[in-house]
Amino acid sequence: MKTLSIKDIAALANVSITTVSFIINGKAKEKSISDGVIKKVEKIIAENGYKPNQTARSLRTGNSYTIGLLVEDISNSFFAKVARKIEDKAYSKGYKIIYSSTENNAEKAKDLIHLFKSRNLDAYIISPINGIEKEIEMLLNDNKPVIFFDRNLPAIQTNYVGVDHFKACYDAVEAFIKDGKRKIALITTDVKVDQIMERHNGYEAAISDGGLSYDENLVLKIPFKQTELQTISSIENLLLSREIDAVLFSTNYLTLSGLRAIKNIKRTVNSDFTVIGYDDHVAFELHSPEISTVQQPIEEIAESIINLILKELSSKVKPKKENIIFPATLILRSPN
């Protein structure tokens, strides 16, 4: 049984493909197709389970009803959760999601953007990295909505949905200080994007506002490319070599590595050092003791992203680019 085309439906209904097309696309009234013809064609479409070929439609109209999602690593729990929420919201509007993981590799990301572009995607949701500015400009020149999230590229004028990381880290460190901590370490990545630096700045500001002095020996910057075992061992070294009473992690996966490190060196969270993680994770709540964390509002982030896309896609005039910053929530779980 061959897949039916619009031609087959037109033949079955004894009308032209133009008429069928108008009916499929809800333009029957506007094009004043008679009710009888509409009924007849709709019946035939339903009986045969005809679905218009989206590839042909896409070639003709330039739209694909597909959104590209480019993140660091789709299996990272933060991105996986965002991906799911975005999928749900996009699905309800008739859009599908095609994804790829950049691994923070600019070459791979550029390649992916070209691949995406050659598929007529309607919009792009990207957690960007430095070095892909030209490719982003290309998409913007094409008038495709581009929404950055998680991270921003300030050189690029496009929409950004993010979280106030400065304040998130400031609040976390402030909580440590209120709790009497004095030797507060920051474990972060060496990725050079504003959103990572903001976390560092928030840490530094809170340290200084709290009357402590900034000690760069307490800040560990983990190279993105290294294996988890290397990361764990760097963290172990830091924790063993310095006097430390509190640790703030700046990402989800670093927190997990940190908890392993603490376990490996047979220390205990809270009795040896207080810990605050980043991005909530089931493992934090199940941990004994429970791990406090800075939580990003995933649902709201996904919602804003999709709304921005739909707004751009539906508006004739180019809407102004928007910057939407949500506050993170500090969840303190382990009262000392």
Query: Is the Cβ of residue 88 or residue 179 nearer to a copy of itself in the bound state?
Result: 88
* β pairing state of 274-278 and 292-295: parallel
Q: Residue 248 in contact with residue 183, Cβ under 8 Å? A: no
With CB under 5 to 8 Å by kind, the binding choice for 11 among a copy of itself, DNA, none is none
Nearest in space to 256 (alpha carbons), one of 233, 214, 237, 284: 284
Q: Which is nearer to a copy of itself, 89 or 167 (CB)?
A: 89
**Distance of closest approach, residue 15 Cβ to DNA, in angstroms:** 4
Shortest CA distance to 239 belongs to which of 218, 253, 224? 218
Partner from a copy of itself, DNA, none binding residue 80, C-beta < 5-8 Å depending on class: a copy of itself
- Chain residues 281-320 in contact with a copy of itself, contact rule CB under 8 A: 281-283, 285-288
> Any residues with CB less than 8 A from the CB of 172 and at least 6 apart, and which?
202, 203, 206, 248, 276, 294, 330
Q: Dump the DSSP string for 144-171.
A: --EEEESS--TTS-SEEEEE-HHHHHHH
Record the tokens describing residue 146, joined without a space. 């581009």
19 binds, among DNA, a copy of itself, none (CB under 5 to 8 A by kind): DNA
Q: Which is nearer to DNA, 49 or 335 (CB)?
A: 49
3-state SS, residue 172: helix
> Of the candidates 23, 81, 206, 292, which one interacts with a copy of itself according to CB under 8 A?
81
> Of the two residues 144 and 181, which places its CB atom closer to DNA in the complex?
144
Shortest reach from residue 24's CB to DNA, in Å: 5
Work out what residue 107 binds among DNA, a copy of itself, none; the CB cut-off runs from 5 to 8 Å by kind.
none
The 4-33 contact track toward DNA, x by CB under 7 A, reads -xxx------xxxxxx-xx-xx-x---xxx
Binding mask 108-147 for a copy of itself (x = CB under 8 A): ------xx-xxxx--------------------xx-----
**Sequence-ordered list of residues with C-beta below 8 angstroms from that of 69, at least 6 positions apart, any chain:** 83, 86, 97, 98, 99, 100, 125, 126
State the Cα–Cα distance between residues 204 and 190, nearest whole angstrom.
Answer: 16
As given in the structure block, the two tokens for residue 32 are 């004043």
Query: Judged by CB under 7 A, does residue 242 bind DNA?
Result: no
Distance CA 136, CA 155 (A): 11
Q: Which residues bind a copy of itself (CB under 8 A)?
A: 1, 3, 49, 51-56, 58-59, 64, 66, 73-75, 77, 80-81, 83-84, 87-88, 91, 96-101, 114-115, 117-120, 141-142, 256, 259-260, 263, 281-283, 285-288
